[in-house]
Structures are given as structure tokens and as C-alpha cells.
Chain A
Amino acid sequence: MTVETAELDDAELIRRSADDPEQFALLFDRYARQIHLYAARRIGTQAADDIVAETFLAAFRRRGSYDPSYRLARPWLYGIATTLVARHRRQEERMLRALARTGVDPLPEPVADVVVDRVAAGDRERELAGALASLSRGDRDVLLLVAWEELSYEEVAQALGIPVGTVRSRLHRARRKARAVLGDEEPE
């Protein structure tokens, strides 16, 4: 079964999951780790554990309305995850501001990893954290989906349900703010 389905694109998997719901778990196997890392980088691993579970539950429940012309479900899943991350917006910004202020990232880490040395952040990282905290949620969503997750403009538009033009303008604004604190040494 797995051998056979390994070749299927996401849209086909989702279609098959209408009659065979367990097929949806293959989508989890494809994307759960990257969704988790994305959420963990924004709001910490513990919150990310919940967000991964909720993202795939929500996606599973909405699978009937998935547009099969999008063969890759990755943007769709990132869109759901981003919406869930938004519930933690205040915490996200609080932690970024704390990092900017103290140089220590308060992003909660799993207990087992406390031995990992927490090197104090450099000035640039602190400034960047401050800049990220000052972005509007929509601008930050676009910036991080492009910079971290390497979604294309079209994929970000699909994920967030906004026009591509809005993706461009949000990204432009977010980069301008980031550049303002980082200096001009990187022309994209």
C-alpha cells in the first residue's frame, strides 16, 4: 500500500482519503516535520506540538473542500498552521521583544534539551528580533513563509488566501524594516 501511494501527488492522496481516511496520514508523514519546525521557530516547540496535531486535524476535516488543481498540499497546510500560530501572536511578539532586549531567546525548549548551550545572541540577532516583533502579523507571516519555508509568492498567496500582489507588498514592507535594522549589506 505504502509503496503504491508513495508516488501519488498530494491532491490525489486527499481525493483518495475521502473514501479511505487513513490515506490522509501519508500527508502527515510528508509534511509534519517541516510544519513543526516552522511553528517551533515562531512560538516554541511545546506550542508547535499542538499546532502540528491541530493543523492536520483541521486539514483532515476540511479535505472535502480541497482544490485538487493544487497538486501540492504544502501551501494549504502552511496556511492552516499559520492561522493557528496567529492565536499565539502576543506570546510570539513578547518573546521576540525579550530576545531583543536581553539577548537571551526565551523560546521555550523541551526539557530534555536544556543542556544545549544558550549562547547569548549577537547584536544583529537582537536587532532582527526587535524588527520581527514590530512587523504586523500579516507582514511577518509572509516574510517567514518566504525566508524560512521557501514558499513561492504564489504559494504564499494560496496559503494565506490573499492576492499575489499583497504578498509582494507585504514582503517588500517587511524586508524594508528588516534592512533598516540590519544595514544595507544584503541587496536580497
Chain B
Amino acid sequence: MKAIKDFRRDTPPMTAAAGNAARGRLLAAALEPERRRAPRLGWRLAVAAALAVTVGTGVVVARDQPRTTPVASVSELGERAARAAYDDRGQVPSAGQWLYIRELQAPQSADGGYGVDVSRRVVWEQWTSVDGKQVAALYPDGRLLVQGNHPGLGAADLGRAPVTPESVLAMIRQKLEGMEWVVDGPQTPPSAEEQLFQAVYQLMGTQALPPEVRAALFRGLATIPGVRVATEVADADGRRGVAFSYTGESARYDLILDPVDYRFLGTSGVQTKGYTGVADVKGGTIAAGTPLTLTARLEARIVDGPGQR
């Protein structure tokens, strides 16, 4: 170890100038929110109020006409989230790279039960290739497991010009058409809208996508029939956000965004319809209200390969 300890031992210390500059940046960041707090809070309340009003309208309309979406509210969210996507100064992914994601999750229910155990949390790490084709995770023994990814679309596919809400949704629909859905026992396969929502939900939650694609997906989400706004939805970390919400044949899924800057916070899903006689579930029963997923993104970063952090 001594040779290693001595290696580059004469490296010069931090200069006073560098130290002052770094400390200055920290202090600037520490003081910034104090100055901004009032207007930001005001904006947040305004957004919440706008959503509350339009959600109210949407619910009334929806009751009379079940197929009508609360367009005003969800398009408002789509538009705001889309605009915020352009402000995202995240790293720009390039071909061959991967998105490393660390998230907090409610783990699978113990003893083979259906759904997740929302009283517990685990940290989950995964890597998704920027081309959207592969997803990787670690085995408990540290080996890396690489699998194919759903829906198999990446930044390059979805970013093909012109990028519009219609173009990205059409591309996803086309991809979904070629897939076969296996459902167990009495459950019904998801509708085309539900499949589309789930695919967008998965893309937004797991892929590194350029701002214009994210914006198009947000605007596109708002156009999928049945997609609503939900407010005050908590993620696995207890952060409350505004969500794109879709209730399908048997479950409801929420894509939770920060209510101020609309960055992705996490996901939440709950079974809305009970089933009995399901073959591969212990006891054969799925109860309505069973939590299906609860996550919170803690960190996401572009890396050069799966397994890197």
C-alpha cells in the first residue's frame, strides 16, 4: 500500500482562488432560493388553482359522456410539462450510451403475494440503453443482467424529424401493433389506449430522451383518450406531485411530475378491479386496491455503459 499512498503525493493543494470560487458558487446557491421563494410559491399556487378548476369541469363532462376526456385540464398539464421539458439542462445522450437510474421502490410483496408492499422501501438501480432496446440490472451477486426493453424505442427513433405529438404516438402505436399480450385467466387485455399510455409511461420513466421528444410525449399524453390529471399524488419518497393518470380495465397508473418544474418524480399504480381464479397468483385472488407499483426517482445520469454509475 505504501507505493500507492505515495503515488502523486506531491499534487499541489487547492489554490485560494479555486477555493473562493467554489465556495462562492455554493453560497450563491444557498442564498438563491431565499430571494426567489415568494414568486415561486405564487406560481405554484396559481398552477394548482388552474388545474383544480379545470379538473372540476372535466369530471362533470366525463360523467355525462364517459368517452370524453377532461381536455382542458390534461392538455394544460401537457403543455406546461412540455414547455418545462425544453428548460431541462440535462446531459445530451449520444448513441451507445446508457441512462443510469437509481430509484426508491416499494418492493414486491413478500411470500409471493400480488403487487408491492408499500410499507417498505428498497433502492433499485437500472440502466437503459439510449437506443431503447436494452435494460440492465444487477443480480444480488453483482452480475449484470441485460434484457430486451419495452417498447424498444429510443431517442434516435422518437427524435426523427419532424417531432410532433402525433408522430411520436404513431411510432409507439406501430410498435405496439406487433406485440402479443398474454393475460392470465379472467383478466382482460389492456385497451389500445391503455397500452399507449403504459408505453409512454415507461418511456418517460426509463429512457434518456431529448427535450423535444419529451415535450412531444407530454403533449401526446394529453391527447390519449382517458388520460386525466391527478393532483397531490405521492411518490415512494413522499414527494407530492401532479400526475398524468390513466385508469384502465383493471388498474390505475400515475406518472408523477414535480408540480413546479414538471421533472419526473416517480410512478404509482393501484389495482382498481378485483379478480378471482388467477392461476399464477397465490390464492388466485387479486383484490381491488392492491398497490401495483410505487417508485421515486432519486438519480438519473448518462453513463458510458451498463453497470457504471
Chain A interface residues (CB < 8 Å from chain B): 17, 21-22, 24-25, 28-29, 32-33, 36-37, 40-41, 45, 48-49, 52-53, 56-57, 60-61, 65, 83, 86, 89, 105, 107, 109-110, 112-113, 116, 124-125, 128-129, 132, 137, 143-144, 147-148, 161, 166, 175, 178, 182, 186, 188
Contact across chains for A60 and B14 when beta carbons are under 8 A apart: no
B252 at the interface (CB under 8 A from A): no
Q: Smallest Cβ distance from A82 to chain B, in angstroms?
A: 9
Residues in A with CB closer than 8 Å to B27 are 22, 25
Which of B11, B15, B142 has the most CB atoms of chain A within a 10 A radius of its CB?
B11
- A sample of 28 inter-chain contacts (CB < 8 A) reads A21-B30, A21-B34, A22-B27, A25-B26, A25-B27, A36-B18, A37-B14, A48-B14, A52-B19, A56-B23, A57-B25, A60-B30, A65-B237, A86-B303, A86-B308, A89-B304, A107-B8, A107-B11, A109-B12, A110-B15, A124-B3, A137-B308, A144-B4, A148-B4, A148-B5, A166-B142, A175-B1, A182-B3
Chain B: number of interface residues, binned into ranges: 35 or more
Closest to A49 in B: B18
CA distance A17 to B10 in the complex (A): 35
Closest to B14 in A: A36
B309 at the interface (CB under 8 A from A): yes
Q: Smallest Cβ distance from B152 to chain A, in angstroms?
A: 28
Q: Smallest Cβ distance from B224 to chain A, in angstroms?
A: 33
Q: Smallest Cβ distance from A133 to chain B, in angstroms?
A: 12
Q: A41-B8, A49-B14, A107-B11 known; A128 and B22 CB under 8 Å?
A: no
Question: What 5 A-B pairs are tightest by C-beta distance, nearest first?
Answer: A21-B30, A53-B22, A36-B14, A49-B18, A147-B4
Q: A22-B31, A32-B23, A41-B8 known; A52 and B14 CB under 8 Å?
A: yes
Contact across chains for B21 and A53 when beta carbons are under 8 A apart: yes
Contact across chains for B30 and A40 when beta carbons are under 8 A apart: no
Closest to A82 in B: B309
Residues in B with CB closer than 8 Å to A49 are 14, 18, 21-22
CA distance A24 to B31 in the complex (A): 11
Contact of B13 among A36, A83, A186 (CB under 8 A): A36
Q: Smallest Cβ distance from A39 to chain B, in angstroms?
A: 9
B143 at the interface (CB under 8 A from A): no
* Chain A interface main SS type: helix
Q: Smallest Cβ distance from B31 to chain A, in angstroms?
A: 7
Residues in B with CB closer than 8 Å to A22 are 27, 30-31
CA distance A129 to B301 in the complex (A): 29
Q: Smallest Cβ distance from B255 to chain A, in angstroms?
A: 22
CA distance A98 to B34 in the complex (A): 48
Which of A53, A60, A143 has the most CB atoms of chain B within a 10 A radius of its CB?
A53
